Amino acid sequence: MACGIAILGSTGSIGRTTLRVVSWLGEEYRVVALSGGRNWEELAKQAQQVKPRLVATAYPEVVEKLTHALEDTDIKVAVGGEGLDEVASHPQADIVVSAIVGSAGLLPTMTAIKCGKRIALANKETLVMAGGLVMEEAKKSGAEIIPVDSEHSAIAQCLAGHRREEVERIVLTASGGPFLGYSRAQLEKVTPEEALKHPKWNMGDKITVDSATLMNKGLEVIEACWLFGLPQDRIDVVVHPQSLVHSLVEFADGSLLAQLAVPDMALPVQYALTYPQRTTSPIEPLNLLEVSSLQFFPPDEVAFPALGLARRAVETGGTAPVVLNGANEVAVEAFLAGKISFNAISQAVEDTLGILDAGSAENIDEVLAADFEAREVARGAVGVLEREKV
Ligand SMILES: NC(=O)c1ccc[n+]([C@@H]2O[C@H](COP(=O)([O-])OP(=O)(O)OC[C@H]3O[C@@H](n4cnc5c(N)ncnc54)[C@H](OP(=O)(O)O)[C@@H]3O)[C@@H](O)[C@H]2O)c1
């Protein structure tokens, strides 16, 4: 029987890539449920194409249009948090692709984990906010978590067949984003349009800005701590502008294993779907003879302080990573709306972390409460930085 796939966030960049991969993989895989946000037209178009059993939108204000667009089909339409949970727990879904952006991905991903599904995890914010709870719940339910982030997919591939005790450290590669080499003074003047022009990857807006500030790499360090059971000080970050080496693992004997491929998210998505098998993919293999150089250098943590903030938050533990994440989401939104400068994004996160003490994050309610409070405080911090910009 075909392997059933549910996609949380099918209208986004990873969601669309997943649909491309599933279509490539053919009859062995079947999409059974989809969820989207505001983009009901795209969700309806996808549903007409792949004919899932269920579609859900997170937003009640678009459900009428979505229902109308699908009225000549027998596809069930669901809405809100309950709708997302229905997608995440669909009885015919063997794999749930977690590709909603930001903290909104946490609860439906948790639902899928509780149901013991295989999770193809793109939504790193789930692990940043509630890594301990997620890993504990996955152990209980038997849910497998296969990372979709290209760096973590690379690490998982390098670790296959090895014991964790053999690992000395992990090396995450970072493209450096569009502002590689910029000083803090130059960064003060960059615009949202410039920040959204990533040199190597075509992604959703939030992660593209996170890549430009290096917060994305900070979130990835936290994600790697939980996925691979290592402290943050054994997870190094190196800038590698070519984005061909997706990450590396250094073993006890000094060997470094790396995974290389052209930068295309179809590959890690496909790996998470077909794991532990590999099959042909729509991606052109990397031609080594066309690679003129592979460069690696340390990140500039003075111009890009977000990476250090993330390291400190995971070291502090408790709700500190929740605060980091919530404040970052608020600040990125304010930057994209033209309210604050690029440098003010990490400043707002730092100010919020400075105001809120880390509390306990032992259950989801505590995590959600900390997220709510962080957003309130971050909005205040953003307000101050907004006035300074004027
Ligand atoms: N893009 C990449 O290459 C990449 C690589 C590695 C990891 N990731 C991670 O994957 C996740 C998705 O990234 P992306 O780039 O695909 O983002 P994206 O293009 O912005 O897509 C986000 C998806 O989430 C949906 N959504 C937005 N707000 C929602 C809400 N409140 N409730 C429910 N659904 C909501 C969107 O729906 P509508 O568009 O219909 O509103 C869309 O389907 C992020 O956590 C990111 O860090 C992405």
User: 238-262 pLDDT, tens per residue?
Assistant: 999 999 999 999 999 999 999 999 9
- Residue 143 alpha carbon to ligand 1 centre in Å: 22
70 domain residue, yes or no = yes
269 domain residue, yes or no = no
Question: What's the pLDDT at 199?
Answer: 86
270 domain residue, yes or no = no
Q: Which residues of the chain have pLDDT under 50?
A: none
Q: Are residues 17 and 132 in the same domain?
A: yes
Q: Are residues 293 and 236 in the same domain?
A: yes
Q: Are residues 23 and 43 in the same domain?
A: yes
Q: Which residue in 121, 120, 52, 57 sits closest to 92, CA to CA?
A: 52
Domain count, the chain: 3
Ligand 1 within 6 A of CB of 36 = yes
Ligand 1 within 6 A of CB of 96 = no
**How far is residue 295 CA from its own chain's centroid?**
25
Ligand 1 within 6 A of CB of 38 = yes
Rounded to 5°, the CA angle 309-315-317 comes to: 105
- Residue 31 alpha carbon to ligand 1 centre in Å: 18
- Residue 60 alpha carbon to ligand 1 centre in Å: 18
Q: Are residues 333 and 259 in the same domain?
A: no
Ligand 1 within 6 A of CB of 139 = no
Q: Are residues 129 and 170 in the same domain?
A: no
370 domain residue, yes or no = yes
Question: What's the pLDDT at 198?
Answer: 86
Question: What's the pLDDT at 201?
Answer: 85
- Residue 203 alpha carbon to ligand 1 centre in Å: 9
Question: What's the pLDDT at 390?
Answer: 66
Q: Are residues 114 and 247 in the same domain?
A: no
280 domain residue, yes or no = no
Q: Are residues 160 and 123 in the same domain?
A: no
Ligand 1 within 6 A of CB of 149 = yes
Q: Are residues 12 and 63 in the same domain?
A: yes
Q: Say if residue 262 is exposed, middle or buried (CB neighbours under 10 Å; 0-12, 13-18, 19+).
A: middle
Q: Whole domain around residue 92: which residue ranges?
A: 3-147
Cβ atoms within 10 Å of 61's Cβ, excluding its own? 10
275 domain residue, yes or no = no
Q: Of all protein residues, whose CA lies closest to atom 44 belonging to ligand 1?
A: 101
Q: Are residues 109 and 224 in the same domain?
A: no
Residue 374, helix vs strand vs coil? helix
Q: Which residue in 14, 8, 9, 62 sits closest to 38, CA to CA?
A: 62
Residue 78, helix vs strand vs coil? strand
- Residue 13 alpha carbon to ligand 1 centre in Å: 7
Q: Are residues 380 and 252 in the same domain?
A: no
268 domain residue, yes or no = no
pTM greater than 0.85 (yes/no): yes
- Residue 207 alpha carbon to ligand 1 centre in Å: 8
Q: Are residues 198 and 111 in the same domain?
A: no
Ligand 1 within 6 A of CB of 123 = yes
